[in-house]
Structure 1
Amino acid sequence: MARNDDRRSALADAGIRVLAEEGARGLTHRAVDAAAGTPRGTASNYFPTRVDLVAALVDRIEERLAPDPETLAQLKQRTPDRAVFAEHLRNVVRRLSANPHVSLALFELRLEASRRPSVAKALGAWRRRAFEDDVAFNASAGLPGGRIELALFHYAIDGLMLDHLTAPIEDNLSIDFVVDELVDRILR
């Protein structure tokens, strides 16, 4: 079969929607075909196994959540301080908030990773690679905080997004305020 990257991406996007709306148990090739509006069997032609489908979803989530290289370049040109670091974190949260299906699908995959080693392998590899990229960017940009602080920010942002996308405990705090508070308190 000839490779059609646009169709592959559309199927992966449909899989992300299914995962976000139906959870891991609802993620089937048939459900992806229905969500994509493609003939039955199309998803299984592109992703023959569930492991292949999940790997494709992880790849697509990585693509959709990737930072804009121009934005990173602009941040690197500024004087590295807490304000620039906070802007970098707000940019991460904006990307996660702008793609709620992607963020919810990512949470679903993380839960599924606790039950399925193949999901843990695919997701874990990407998360570790993304974390190393964050550490490298932070160091090259001269931003405050090291490896431990960045791990704390990852944990905090994950919790913030889970709260924001599901059942918030506090509706009166803006996300920007929370990010600024995290930066002030973790980088004390």
Structure 2
Amino acid sequence: MRQNLARRTALLDAAIEVLARDGSRGLTFRAVDALAGVPTGTASNYFTSRDELIAQVAQRTRERLTPVESEVRRTMRAPRTRDLVTLLMHQLLDRMRQDRPTYLAMLELRLEATRRPELRAVLVDVFSENLRESIKFHLDADLPGDETTVVLLYLAMSGLLIDDLTVPDVLTPYPYDTLIATMVDRAIGPRDATRQSLT
């Protein structure tokens, strides 16, 4: 059956909204159809099973949270300093805040993956590719720090994002500018540190 790609994307976006609003238990074809404003049965015509829908949603969250290439190029005109790395972390936070439903949907998928090995395998692929691309971007751009720097920032920002997008009051006493600047400074290490590799 020939499929309309725009409608398929709209269904995936509706599924993301359902996940963010109702959690993984609320993710049904009927709920997706209702939120997308399409006839009942449409989602089941595009996805052979709920598992396929979830796998495609995982990929779609990655697409939606990827920065716009033109904006990245504009940012990367700046000198390759710690300040630029700090700015990139702020832009990451801003991007997640602007699409909070997608980030929350991703958290729901992570939780469901703890109970479903097949979904865990999908998420491992998605998140591993994200991390590999982040490492490659950092090193190719000749930003300060090394592979370990990127992994440490990935872990630190993941924790900050979870609190900021779910229980922001926890971090109220701590200024974000200071937190992110300190994360970057400590992840990069001494100013004369040389690049190292985790592999």
Partners of 1:170 and 1:89 lie apart in 2 by: 17
Partners of 1:120 and 1:114 lie apart in 2 by: 7
Partners of 1:113 and 1:59 lie apart in 2 by: 14
| Structure 2 counterpart of 1:135 | 135
Partners of 1:105 and 1:178 lie apart in 2 by: 25
% identity of equivalent residues: 38
| Correspondence 1:41-120 to 2 at 5 A | 41-120=41-120
Residue 56 of structure 1 deviates from its aligned partner by: 1.4
| Structure 1 counterpart of 2:153 | 153
SS, match of residue 160 in structure 1: helix
Partners of 1:81 and 1:62 lie apart in 2 by: 27
Partners of 2:6 and 2:36 lie apart in 1 by: 12
Residue 87 of structure 1 deviates from its aligned partner by: 1.1
For the pair shown, the structure with the greater C-alpha radius of gyration is 2
Partners of 1:60 and 1:131 lie apart in 2 by: 16
SS, match of residue 171 in structure 2: coil
**Coordinate RMSD, CA, aligned:** 1.4
Partners of 2:177 and 2:11 lie apart in 1 by: 33
Residue 170 of structure 1 deviates from its aligned partner by: 2.3
1:48-76 deviations in Å (ceiling 9; x for gaps): 11121011111211111112212332344
- Is the contact made by 2:146 and 2:188 (CA closer than 8 Å) also made in structure 1? no
| TM-score using structure 1 length | 0.93
| Misfit runs of 4+, over 4 Å | none
Partners of 2:46 and 2:177 lie apart in 1 by: 40
Gaps of at least 5 residues in structure 1 are none
Equivalent position amino acid for 1:173 in 2: Y
Partners of 2:40 and 2:145 lie apart in 1 by: 50
Gaps of at least 5 residues in structure 2 are 190-199
Equivalent position amino acid for 2:156 in 1: A
| Structure 1 counterpart of 2:193 | none
**C-alpha distance 9-177 of structure 1, shift in aligned 2 (>3 A):** farther
| Correspondence 1:28-39 to 2 at 5 A | 28-39=28-39
Which piece of structure 1 moves more, 116-125 or 172-181? 172-181
Equivalent position amino acid for 1:33 in 2: D
**C-alpha distance 94-67 of structure 1, shift in aligned 2 (>3 A):** same
Partners of 2:113 and 2:13 lie apart in 1 by: 20
SS, match of residue 77 in structure 1: coil
| TM-score using structure 2 length | 0.88
Equivalent position amino acid for 2:158 in 1: D
Equivalent position amino acid for 2:181 in 1: D
1:79-138 deviations in Å (ceiling 9; x for gaps): 211011111111111111110000100111111111111211111111111111110100
**C-alpha distance 37-174 of structure 1, shift in aligned 2 (>3 A):** farther
SS, match of residue 184 in structure 1: helix
Partners of 1:25 and 1:62 lie apart in 2 by: 21
Equivalent position amino acid for 1:162 in 2: I
Aligned pair count reads 188
Partners of 1:29 and 1:106 lie apart in 2 by: 18
Residue 27 of structure 2 corresponds to residue 27 of structure 1: yes
